[in-house]
């Protein structure tokens, strides 16, 4: 490169820069995000053990719950409701929620290894790393959902609703997990250590997914847990899933809003989470720097 | 010509701790500046301020003619950065790492691929191009990291301790690569703990300690700041060190030691004065193992300056 090249390049850059509309910057967030997403997916390809773990756990849960607890919990369900119909949406919810924690662990890992510093010194969109991370984790969750669906069908679960409703159910699970990814992103960037993040997220997520209608009907829980479960968005997600996957209704005793309108209540949570955590995580990313 | 880097009164605080307390520095375009200082002196913080990774609390910083606070995005388009540890993705291959960086600089798919191939060739990584960088040696990783920093041929390059942790052979390699970049017109700011590195690569050296720039100049200017020649003697017997020290102190200068039996004193009278001192030592019956007259090294500069400020 000659000296003249060098001195004229910045001037050209500046003109290009001025021509960049907000729309173009927005498209950079997506395009740069896809570059980062591809990088995350390549990592899964190179270290497939991680994905195998992610896939085997839900299969194990489905089989264990179906056959170990199925008899006793199933007996307490209203007549005519098979435990598989009750259980599978619950496992879907728990699994995609745990899938969302990958976002935080992945970002904490990138922080620790200094890759975030490299990304932050590049002229890429500030949102790209987060868009990329949440996108690749969404795709992982799609794969996991397919595996769970097949496993579910093998243990006797049936989709009895219309195709549109069933697709809406799958979309709702994935959308909820996607929103959660943005919370995980914020926490992961804050904690900076993948090990610490994983321990913390397990301690928080495990009870939240259990104190809900996930594996057993929550109306038999002790009162404080029952109230928690009633307003827990995991409960509404699971109930929405049961409603959308099946044309038989599982009667709900509660008259509270989440119980009556599980789909709307879940979507409300998705909206609130995204409105708060997309800007918050983006800001945290701009500040975050490895020590 | 515009200075490639111009920083005035940069202050950065972390809570009550002041990591940088008013640092000034200037790097004229096409030159090399070494930021020299002990661990924790504030070198990395300064590089992070200059590369928009952190925002200073006070001060003015312009890089490639652009204010880092007013338009950090524009600064990022004009710089290349390599941090203290190699920021390469260990699961991606060397090619994939560079291709990704090219795309994130918005070079386009075709140009990114070409540039990645080009750099792998220049940095002698072609054979390892399609292996995950996890399998690379430390020197290879460092080279890949440097390649990542220059994907977009930035006019200004920042390298934080580019040779820390490298074996001597890889260090020589790295120096050669850096010299090549500078020859082609890149402005380079690097931090280092190795005085030899600063001496070899830099046009200008800024010594930084406790968040302040305590000296600036060429290696020769800094050396002359700490005085002329030094006489260095190694005393044969431990019990004679004190006697030797007393003799050397007669020069009126401070005698320094390295904790063993090696004593150093600045002299102004060259070899004549050395002979005089040797005679005096001999008269007092001090036996010596080794003796020499030497020019001050950057080590002397560094120890004198950082010793005085702490």
* Separation in Å, CA of A182 to nearest CA in chain B: 22
Per-residue model confidence as pLDDT tens digits over A219-253: 889 999 999 999 999 999 999 999 999 987 777 77
Question: How far apart are alpha carbons B13 and A237 in whole angstroms?
Answer: 46
B51: chain A residues, CB-CB within 8 Å: 121
Per-residue model confidence as pLDDT tens digits over B34-56: 999 888 889 999 999 999 999 99
Task: Copy the structure tokens of residue B132.
Answer: 């995950």
User: Computed over its alpha carbons, how large is the radius of gyration of chain B?
Assistant: 23
* Separation in Å, CA of B71 to nearest CA in chain A: 11
Residue of B nearest to A117 (CA): B53
Cβ distance A10 to B64 less than 8 Å, yes or no, reads: yes
Query: Rounded to 5 degrees, what angle do the CA atoms A238, A242, A246 make?
Result: 170
Per-residue model confidence as pLDDT tens digits over A156-197: 999 999 999 999 999 999 999 999 999 999 999 999 899 999
* Separation in Å, CA of A115 to nearest CA in chain B: 5
* pLDDT mean over A115-140: 93
Best mean pLDDT range from A56-65, B220-229, B245-254 = A56-65
Closest residue to B73, CB basis, from A43, A118, A123: A123
| Interface membership of A122 toward B (CB under 8 Å) | yes
What is the structure's pLDDT at A78? Answer: 81
Whether B205 contacts B33, CB under 8 Å: yes
Place of tokens 């590049």: A122
Whether A137 contacts A102, CB under 8 Å: yes
Closest residue to A118, CB basis, from B73, B87, B132: B87
B103: chain A residues, CB-CB within 8 Å: 32, 35
- What spatial distance separates the first Cα and last Cα of chain B, rounded to whole Å? 37
Q: Closest by alpha carbon to A65, among A151, A6, A123, A140? A: A151
Per-residue model confidence as pLDDT tens digits over B250-289: 887 778 887 778 888 888 878 888 898 999 999 988 888 9
Three-state secondary structure call for residue A244: helix
Place of tokens 């000034």: B24
Q: Which helix (H) or strand (E) holds A235?
A: helix A233-245
Cβ distance B106 to A289 less than 8 Å, yes or no, reads: no
Task: Copy the structure tokens of residue B257.
Answer: 């030691």
Per-residue model confidence as pLDDT tens digits over B170-208: 889 889 999 999 999 999 999 998 888 888 999 999 999
Question: How far apart are alpha carbons A149 and A136 in whole angstroms?
Answer: 20
Best mean pLDDT range from A74-83, B118-127, B256-265 = B118-127
- pTM as predicted: 0.82
* pLDDT mean over B135-164: 92
List of long-range contacts for B226-229, beta carbons under 8 Å, 24+ apart: B226/B266, B226/B296, B226/B300, B226/B301, B226/B304, B226/B305, B227/B253, B227/B266, B227/B268, B227/B296, B228/B266, B228/B267, B228/B268, B228/B296, B229/B266, B229/B267, B229/B268, B229/B270, B229/B293, B229/B294, B229/B295, B229/B296
* Separation in Å, CA of A127 to nearest CA in chain B: 12
* Separation in Å, CA of A133 to nearest CA in chain B: 14
Is it the case that residue A1 has pLDDT exceeding 60?
no
Bridge partners, B86 (sequence order): none
- Give the model's confidence band at B89: pLDDT under 50 very low, under 70 low, under 90 confident, else very high: very high
Is it the case that residue B91 has pLDDT exceeding 80?
yes
Among A123, A136, A289, most B C-beta atoms within 10 A, so best to mutate, is A123
Q: How many CB atoms lie within 10 A of CB A278?
A: 18
Three-state secondary structure call for residue A227: helix
Is it the case that residue A290 has pLDDT exceeding 80?
no
| Interface membership of A158 toward B (CB under 8 Å) | no
| Interface membership of A18 toward B (CB under 8 Å) | no
A13: chain B residues, CB-CB within 8 Å: 74, 77-78
| Interface membership of A25 toward B (CB under 8 Å) | no
Is it the case that residue A28 has pLDDT exceeding 90?
no
């Amino acid at each position: 490169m000659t000296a003249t090249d060098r001195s004229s390049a910045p001037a050209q850059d500046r003109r290009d820069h001025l021509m960049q509309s907000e729309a173009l910057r927005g498209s950079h967030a997506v395009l740069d995000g896809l570059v980062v997403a591809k990088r995350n997916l390549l990592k899964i390809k190179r270290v497939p053990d991680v994905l195998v773990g992610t896939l085997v756990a839900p299969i194990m849960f489905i089989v264990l719950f179906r056959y170990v607890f199925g008899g006793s919990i199933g007996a307490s369900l209203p007549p005519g409701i098979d435990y598989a119909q009750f259980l599978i949406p619950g496992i879907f919810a728990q699994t995609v929620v745990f899938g969302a924690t990958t976002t935080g662990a992945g970002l904490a890992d990138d922080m620790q290894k200094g890759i975030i510093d490299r990304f932050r010194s590049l002229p890429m969109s500030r949102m790209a790393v987060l868009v990329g991370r949440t996108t690749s984790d969404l795709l992982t969750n799609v794969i996991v959902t397919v595996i769970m669906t097949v496993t579910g069908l093998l243990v006797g679960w049936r989709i009895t609703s219309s195709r549109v409703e069933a697709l809406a159910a799958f979309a709702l699970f994935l959308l909820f997990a996607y929103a959660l990814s943005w919370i995980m992103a914020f926490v992961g960037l804050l904690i900076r250590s993948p090990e610490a993040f994983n321990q913390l997220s397990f301690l928080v997520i495990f009870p939240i997914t259990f104190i809900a209608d996930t594996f057993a009907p929550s109306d038999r829980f002790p009162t404080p847990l029952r109230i928690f479960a009633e307003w827990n968005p995991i409960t509404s997600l699971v109930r929405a899933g049961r409603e959308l996957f099946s044309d038989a209704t599982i009667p709900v005793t509660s008259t509270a809003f989440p119980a009556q309108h599980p789909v709307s209540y879940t979507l409300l949570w998705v909206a609130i989470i995204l409105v708060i955590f997309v800007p918050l995580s983006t800001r945290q990313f701009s500040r975050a720097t490895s020590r | 010509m515009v200075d490639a880097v111009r920083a005035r009164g940069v202050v950065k605080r972390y809570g009550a701790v002041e990591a940088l307390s008013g640092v000034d520095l200037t790097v004229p375009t096409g030159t090399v500046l070494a930021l020299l200082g002990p661990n924790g002196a504030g070198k990395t913080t300064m590089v992070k301020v200059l590369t928009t990774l952190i925002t200073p609390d006070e001060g003015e910083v312009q890089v490639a003619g652009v204010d880092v606070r007013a338009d950090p995005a524009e600064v990022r388009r004009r710089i290349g950065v390599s941090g203290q540890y190699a920021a390469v993705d260990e699961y991606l291959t060397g090619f994939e790492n560079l291709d990704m960086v090219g795309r994130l600089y918005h070079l386009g798919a075709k140009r990114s691929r070409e540039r990645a191939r080009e750099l792998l060739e220049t940095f002698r990584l072609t054979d390892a191009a399609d292996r995950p960088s996890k399998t690379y040696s430390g020197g290879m990783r460092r080279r890949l990291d440097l390649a990542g920093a220059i994907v977009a041929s930035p006019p200004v390059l920042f390298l934080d301790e580019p040779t820390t942790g490298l074996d001597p052979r890889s260090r020589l390699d790295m120096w050669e690569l850096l010299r090549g970049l500078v020859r082609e017109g890149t402005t380079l700011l690097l931090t280092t703990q190795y005085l030899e590195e600063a001496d070899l690569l830099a046009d200008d050296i800024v010594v930084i300690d406790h968040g302040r720039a305590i000296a600036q100049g060429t290696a020769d200017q800094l050396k002359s700041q700490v005085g002329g020649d030094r006489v260095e003697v190694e005393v044969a017997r431990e019990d004679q060190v004190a006697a030797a020290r007393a003799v050397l102190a007669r020069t009126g200068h401070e005698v320094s030691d390295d904790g063993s039996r090696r004593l150093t004193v600045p002299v102004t009278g060259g070899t004549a004065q050395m002979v005089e001192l040797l005679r005096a030592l001999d008269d007092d019956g001090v036996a010596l193992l080794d003796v020499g007259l030497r020019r001050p090294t950057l080590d002397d500069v560094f120890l004198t300056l950082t010793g005085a400020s702490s």
